[in-house]
Amino acid sequence: MAYLPDYESKVCVAYIYQRLHDALDSDNLAQEISNLYSELAHNFEKDTGTKIGVALKWNKTKTS
């Protein structure tokens, strides 16, 4: 799990808990998790001004 000390973004644990509970209770788990994932990425960028993929260094190109 990555900890990003250079970025400050807030998330309410109770909100995430409820969203996961609702997703697990739904008939469309994949869609509910995908929606949450997108929402978290959007909120991280709104809070920090940086896309989550950049912060996690997922955007690096691989070289052989």
Q: What is the per-residue pLDDT across 15-47, written as a single tens digit (0 to 9) for each?
A: 999 999 999 999 999 999 999 999 999 999 999
Q: What pTM was estimated for this model as a whole?
A: 0.80
Long-range contacts of 36-41 (CB under 8 A, 24+ apart): 40/11
| Phi-psi category of residue 13: left, alpha or beta, with phi > 0 → left and psi -120 to 50 → alpha | alpha
| Position with higher pLDDT, 51 vs 2 | 51
Structure confidence at residue 62 (pLDDT)? 60
pLDDT tops 70 at residue 2: no
Q: Residue holding tokens 């990003």?
A: 4
